[in-house]
């Protein structure tokens, strides 16, 4: 269903809007987008008000394109989150290693996580960062689970060379988080393992 705003925009103007949107969508986001301001030719049909609105809307869309390009050239939110979690777990390495012991593989953290202060703080920080990252009411549980899994893979990969225990820890934390939040909706967690 068309939005009320779209319904009130003349067809001629909407055609220009779609043209600019196509221009923005097909720009090379790895290079400067300043050229796009000259790529769009405004069609003047003698209606000054309409032409003015065309220009305003086109300028807005081009700014959106610039914003997209700027974001594309920076780290994504997911990359930043992976780095933050990796840094945090790295700083806690000594405490974590003393908790894990030499034979740590995986365990059911529901019996441990809230009974051990260090575990609680580690999981709490992990959960807090994920909650900030997943702070969107309009994305589905499946999408959130996929994002958690993707972040887990990234963090685990950053630890892969240092210790298989660290990889297992990250897997355990994320699996517990997903179990805690979505446990009633999931039947199989094996697919969430970040590394085979």
Structure confidence at residue 146 (pLDDT): 73
**Do the beta carbons of residue 44 and residue 120 sit within 8 Å?**
no
Long-range contacts of 178-181 (CB under 8 A, 24+ apart): 178/145, 178/148, 178/149, 179/110, 181/144
d(CA 148, CA 21): 32
- Does the structure show a pLDDT above 60 at 155? yes
Please say whether the dihedral angle defined by the alpha carbons of residues 88, 94, 99 and 103, taken in this order, is positive or negative: positive
**Do the beta carbons of residue 22 and residue 64 sit within 8 Å?**
no
**How much of the chain, in percent, has pLDDT values that exceed 70?**
24
Q: Span 166-186, mean pLDDT? A: 66
Structure confidence at residue 149 (pLDDT): 75
For 37-61, b where at least 16 C-beta lie within 10 A, e where not — what string? eeebeeeeeeeeebbebbeebbeeb
Q: Span 27-35, mean pLDDT? A: 42
């Amino acid at each position: 269903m068309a939005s009320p705003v779209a319904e009130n925009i003349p067809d001629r103007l909407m055609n220009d809007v779609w043209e600019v949107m196509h221009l923005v969508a097909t720009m090379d986001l790895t290079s400067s987008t300043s050229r796009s301001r000259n790529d769009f030719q405004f069609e003047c049909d003698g209606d000054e008000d309409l032409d003015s609105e065309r220009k305003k809307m086109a300028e807005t869309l081009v700014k959106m394109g610039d914003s997209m390009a700027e974001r594309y050239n920076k780290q994504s939110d997911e990359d930043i989150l992976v780095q933050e979690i990796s840094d945090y777990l790295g700083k806690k390495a000594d405490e974590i290693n003393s908790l894990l012991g030499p034979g740590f593989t995986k365990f059911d953290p529901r019996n441990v996580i809230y009974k051990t202060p260090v575990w609680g703080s580690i999981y709490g920080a992990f959960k807090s960062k994920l909650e900030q990252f997943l702070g969107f009411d309009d994305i589905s549980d499946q999408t959130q689970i996929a994002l958690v899994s993707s972040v887990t893979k990234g963090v685990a990969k950053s630890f892969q060379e240092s210790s298989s225990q660290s990889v297992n820890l990250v897997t355990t934390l994320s699996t517990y988080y997903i179990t805690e939040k979505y446990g009633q909706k999931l039947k199989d967690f094996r697919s969430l393992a970040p590394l085979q």
